[in-house]
Amino acid sequence: MFFYVNFFYAIEVPYFSYEAMSKTFSVLIFPFVGMFVFFWFQKRGSEHS
């Protein structure tokens, strides 16, 4: 829902929306990438040992 709200703001207020979108992407992407890298290293470690 928050994602769609940001999209509507993008039409209304481009700059403010860009700030909000970048913050939203940071909050969503960093934990996902962190978990992906963590599991990837776990998988590699178990394969090598």
- Is pLDDT at 14 greater than 80 in this prediction? no
Residue 25 confidence (pLDDT): 83
Q: Measuring CA to CA, how many Å separate 43 from each of 1, 30, 32, 34, 35?
A: 34, 20, 16, 14, 12
Q: What is the pLDDT of residue 35?
A: 93
Quote the pLDDT of residue 49.
60
Q: How far apart are CA 6 and CA 12, in angstroms?
A: 10
The model carries a pTM of: 0.41
Question: Residue 3: its pLDDT value, please?
Answer: 63
Rg over CA atoms, the chain = 17
